Amino acid sequence: MSVYRHIVVLTGAGISAESGLATFRGADGLWNNRPVEEVATIEAFERNPAYVHDFYNELKPEVFKARPNPAHLALAKLQKEYPGHVCLITQNVDTLHEKAGSIDVCHIHGRIDQAVCLNCGQIMEATGDIDTQTACPHCQVAGMMKPNIVFFGENLLDMDNVERQLHQCDLFLSIGTSGIVFPAAGFVQTAKYVGAETYEFNLEPTSNNFYFDHHIMGPAGTTIPQFVDKLLQAATERKS
């Protein structure tokens, strides 16, 4: 195992599956077998915001009671103990990486514990219910609040930072994501282009596996702690 200067980790719903949260495209998928792109689109929200608010209001308690699993904890340990930089990018709207102790997590698809006001653009904490009547505490306009979740057709968050991180990385890890949703599915291509070594961790091969040098199959709660131990051990051996 080599020692790396700049590790970029991309996580998806699969890393939170062992914490009890449904993935999107699995058998018991979050959207109950409806194509996610037909429900989680900005057009669907504009058509029927009450329906979308109800969905997320119901989902919040389940997400908030979930606890980080060994994969989240191992990545937090990697961030704390690895001698190189470790950048954590997640597509997940849960905050299990933060609960595991990770810092500076880049939430490219937003966070379920936040709302954004479509009138003034302010992002705020929203752990309780929001609905079509909720007023923005910043600009006071009512009825313009949206969960701070990136729907299909919306731009991702923090992409300037993501691009910067990807262009510096020498190791790219993709964990528990089907590689179907862009632009996140294309990050591995950028990493490969800049010369990074690339690993995919999943239960099964994905359709996006062309750019991965290594495929490690198995539950992330098992494979990630083992892999992190190897990275940390290599770094320790290099030092001594």
Beta bridge partners of 216: 201
Phi, psi dihedrals of residue 87, rounded to the nearest 5°: -105, 125
In whole angstroms, what is the distance from residue 86 CA to residue 111 CA? 21
Q: How far is the CB of 61 from ligand BJW (least distance, A)?
A: 15
Q: Give residue 153's region: left, alpha or beta (phi > 0; psi -120 to 50).
A: left
Least distance between ligand BJW and beta carbon 181 (Å): 4
215 binds ligand BJW (CB under 6 A): no
Binding mask 110-149 for ligand BJW (x = CB under 6 A): ---------------------------------------x
User: Does residue 95 interact with ligand BJW by CB under 6 A?
Assistant: no
Among 152, 167, 197, 216, indicate the residue that binds ligand BJW (CB under 6 A). Answer: 152
Per CB under 6 A, 68 contacts ligand BJW: no
Stretch that binds ligand BJW, among 12-20, 80-88, 188-196, 207-215 (CB under 6 A): 12-20
For residue 40 the two structure tokens come to 């989680």
Q: Which of 6, 109, 138, 214 is catalytic?
A: 109
Piece of the chain touching ligand BJW by CB under 6 A; list 13-21, 99-107, 122-130, 165-173: 13-21
Interaction between residue 52 and ligand BJW (CB under 6 A):
no
Site string for ligand BJW, 156-195 (x = CB under 6 A): x-------------------xxx-xxxx------------
- Residue 79 in contact with ligand BJW, rule: CB under 6 A: no
Provide the token pair at 109: 């698809």
Q: Which is nearer to ligand BJW, 6 or 109 (CB)?
A: 109
What type of residue sits at position 3? Answer: V
Give min distance, CB of 149 to ligand BJW, in A: 5
Q: What are phi and psi of 216, to 5 degrees?
A: -115, 110
Residue with structure tokens 């195992």? 1
- State CA 145 to chain mean position distance: 22
Binding residue for ligand BJW (CB under 6 A) from 3, 25, 66, 215? Answer: 25
Angle separating helix axes 220-239 and 70-81, nearest 10 degrees: 20
Cβ atoms within 10 Å, residue 153: 13
Q: How far apart are CA 139 and CA 113, in angstroms?
A: 20
3-class secondary-structure state, position 82: coil
Burial environment of residue 215 by CB neighbours within 10 A (0 to 12, 13 to 18, 19 or more)? middle
Contact set with ligand BJW (CB under 6 A) = 12-14, 17-18, 23-26, 36-37, 40, 91, 93, 109, 149-156, 176-178, 180-183, 201-204, 206, 219-220
Write out the catalytic residue numbers.
109
